[in-house]
Amino acid sequence: MDPAAPDPLRDPTLYFNRELSQLDFNFRVLAQAMDESVPLLERLRYLCISCTNLDEFFEIRAATVRHAQDFGTVPTPPDGLAPATVLKRIHERAAELVEAQYRCWNEVLRPGLTENGVRVLARGSWSARQTRWLRAYFRDEIMPVLSPLGLDPAHPFPKILNKSLNIVVVLKGRDAFGRVGNLAIVRAPRSLPRIIQLPEKVSGGEHDFVFLSAVLSEFVHELFPGMEVKGAYQFRVTRNSELIVDEDEVENLALALRDELAGRGYLRAMRLEIAADCPAAIVRTLLQNFDLPENAVYRIDGPVNLNRVIQVYDLVQRPDLKFAPFQPRALKGSDAIFDLVARGDVLLHHPFDAFSPVLELIKQAAEDPNVLAIKQTLYRTGADSPIVEHLVQAARNGKDVTVVVELRARFDEEANLGLADRLQEAGVQVVYGVVGFKTHAKMLLVVRREGRKLRRYVHLGTGNYHSGTARVYTDIGLISADPDIGNDVHLIFQQLSGLAPAISLRRLLQSPFTLHAGILERIARETAHAEAGRPGRIIAKMNALNEPQVMRALYAASQAGVQIDLIVRGACSLRPGVPGVSDNIRVRSIVGRFLEHHRVYWFGNDGDPDLLCSSADWLERNLLRRVECCFPILDPALAARVKEEALDNYLADNSNAWELREDGVYRKLAPDEDSLPHSAQTFLLARLCG
**Residues at the annotated binding site for ATP?**
53, 473, 569, 597
Annotated binding site for Mg(2+): 380, 410
| Ramachandran assignment for 279, one of left (phi > 0), alpha (psi -120 to 50 degrees), beta (any other) | beta
Q: What string of DSSP letters covers 455-476? A: EEEEEEESS-S-TTGGGTEEEE
**Spacing of C-alpha 248 from chain mean position:** 28
Indicate the helix (H) or strand (E) that contains 271. strand 269-275
Alpha-carbon distance 430 to 436, whole Å?
18
**Spacing of C-alpha 64 from chain mean position:** 17
Q: Which long-range contacts (CB under 8 A, 24 or more apart) does 451-458 make?
A: 454/372, 455/342, 455/481, 455/486, 456/481, 456/483, 456/486, 456/487, 456/489, 456/490, 457/338, 457/341, 457/361, 457/365, 457/481, 457/486, 458/482, 458/485, 458/486, 458/489
> Which segments of 64-143 are extended strands (E)?
118-120
Asked if 576 and 587 touch (Cβ cutoff 8 Å), the reply is yes
Residues 6 or more apart from 595 whose CB is under 8 A from it? 469, 472, 473, 474, 569
Asked if 86 and 61 touch (Cβ cutoff 8 Å), the reply is no
Beta partners for residue 297, in sequence order: 272
What is the residue type of 107?
Answer: E
Asked if 448 and 457 touch (Cβ cutoff 8 Å), the reply is yes
Annotated binding site: 53, 380, 410, 473, 569, 597
Give the number of C-alpha atoms closer than 13 A to the C-alpha of residue 585, restricted to the C-beta side.
31
Longest distance between any two alpha carbons in the chain, whole Å: 90
Give the number of C-alpha atoms closer than 13 A to the C-alpha of residue 506, restricted to the C-beta side.
11
Is the four-CA dihedral 615, 619, 624, 626 of positive or negative sign?
A: negative
Strand duo 228-239 + 438-439: pairing: unpaired
Catalytic residue among 91, 349, 350, 440: 440
Asked if 540 and 522 touch (Cβ cutoff 8 Å), the reply is no
For residue 612, give the 3-state DSSP assignment.
Answer: strand
Active site residue 440: yes
Asked if 439 and 377 touch (Cβ cutoff 8 Å), the reply is yes
Active site residues: 440
